[in-house]
Structure 1
């Protein structure tokens, strides 16, 4: 094996220009694949954080009528026996970290001069701590840490801009109560938030759950939000919850956040498709480059191959010798390419470069989230591709008649 490596290194150094060109091609392909994967991973993780912490939690329990949008009136959609259900769900599995209620209503928001259609999410501020971490506060502050927060409201920054709201302005929410009576409640505007999604920041606001319940005159909730400590156990916990629901709450169903987060699914599918296209492009470049490089190298060494075979060298040994050159070149290229990607990515991360994308409510920071998988998958793909690409010209060369190959030495 050591002799094989020495021969491979010697042969690579025979033609330094060709070796350098192949090395640069592999470095570029590896770094390109790694950087794109790191950028996509960062975007997807950011969307996952917003989806799980701010919008859906990890699991949600609600009535089938709500999931299927088949309820005829508001009282049909709400969760039955919320207090008991919350207690049951809290102890159903050790991995559950929080269980809280939510209610979403549609209505009108007015500051006395302008009025806009809004969707208002009422949630238990003291239990859903993760909402604060997922929000970007554009103006003002988050909710107070006292009972006054039941009269405070956080408004999407695009909605706040349309209403021309100022901190401590009083806004009025108008909505139909569960008794089909128009009701209104005043709130103090304490700040605006950004989620990164235009549709959310244009129409949504957050208030304390008790405030929404007071507005629509009910003690019920639309759904129960469940968060878990380890998302790897999500399927197991979901099955336990569904089993409990089928026994004690037969008209309720649990759903995980992926089935609810439509935007996340679309973005992930988009990046998966882009990643496949970029991989095919990079692989095509590498395959053509390696085929050309190895073919030229083999043609130059036909006489040498004929001499080795005439001395009794096995064809398999010759194949191993040339393929080991390609593997050595590939390994050097993917190592340098990974280091290049890491250096370029960190420089861009520190540069605070922003860009605008369709559907986003604010400029998005270009950021790369490097992971072991990003490096390993890109490197393995390049090494495997270059190795397979080198086999065709090598196998063709060893099939040449020995006498014909020796004539190349003349």
Structure 2
């Protein structure tokens, strides 16, 4: 749907119309490519990573057999463990990666962009080779793949909520640096209210209200008073951190039984379905917050791309002046979208105190708001993309704990920095050009 329309001028050729008719069949794509030149970023990155994989995961790979369990004792049926010779598996996967890199170079030589599936497939192969290399080189070369995936999804829950908050804010033109503060405020409020009422669901609602309150402050100063959005977000993170730390030390510590002992939200097992190997624990054995995560991803995606509301939101984020001429209240739309994003992030914060552990501690969010912001960029400002990016970060976080248990020689510090390394590669162009909404971070003044 076009927001603005211009009348064609007599005698003047219209781009994409008369020019396209005069061109030979099949040249329209070439003309579009000439407007956006294909760069060497993707071919060079894939080639470099392919060479690294071939050397470390292949030629220098361990000689043990890596074992990956697919089932647990309580599953509906048992699947045999997958046995992969680490050296041979690393060679095969790295050769496939080099083949994909070579194809990317070939496409660049033909001045054709790499299709989106190419870097995605390369990333999957790289992660598989890395996992085989890590497990194959451990003292106990065996892990439960089902447990690794289930744990990764659990750790990704607050990241998904935080990234969805960022999507809702940036799609409407407001940069949300305050995701960390929204998560932290939600975690604190959920613990406090649930402890006082002895009802975790009331704590969940209070967490959403706390996240929305933080977002309202962000919206008020950045939209109404035109304060720099990044500065407001940073200040809010510091403010919420200091306020929750002060109340934790003065109120919660003084009477933990009354103010910091919230009842938890237990996992809800769906009969039969929760016993299916691998997908059962991921989809059908979650807490209320975990199920809300899946619902939120679907609802936000459908709302943004399949409804009139979503079209208005994206119009405000891409071209607020044009949206204003169509009768859309730009700043009102921004204000309520930012508030909704904060409420979603607050629900994600409740995960820390109502699901993960049974009390609040200082800085319990641990910087995950900034990782959620990275997932937002990695996911290209799309709810589904942000969801899978958050899962990748949760996977790296969970793998960091597992490699310590199985005794792999890979330093845990390297595993801790892996999500950020992936983010840098993604932003640098590994998954293609990442472009935020055109009006993101730009205040709108009517008239």
TM-score (norm 2): 0.19
Structure with greater strand share of residues: 1
Structure with greater helix share of residues: 2
| Bigger Rg, which one | 1
TM-score (norm 1): 0.21
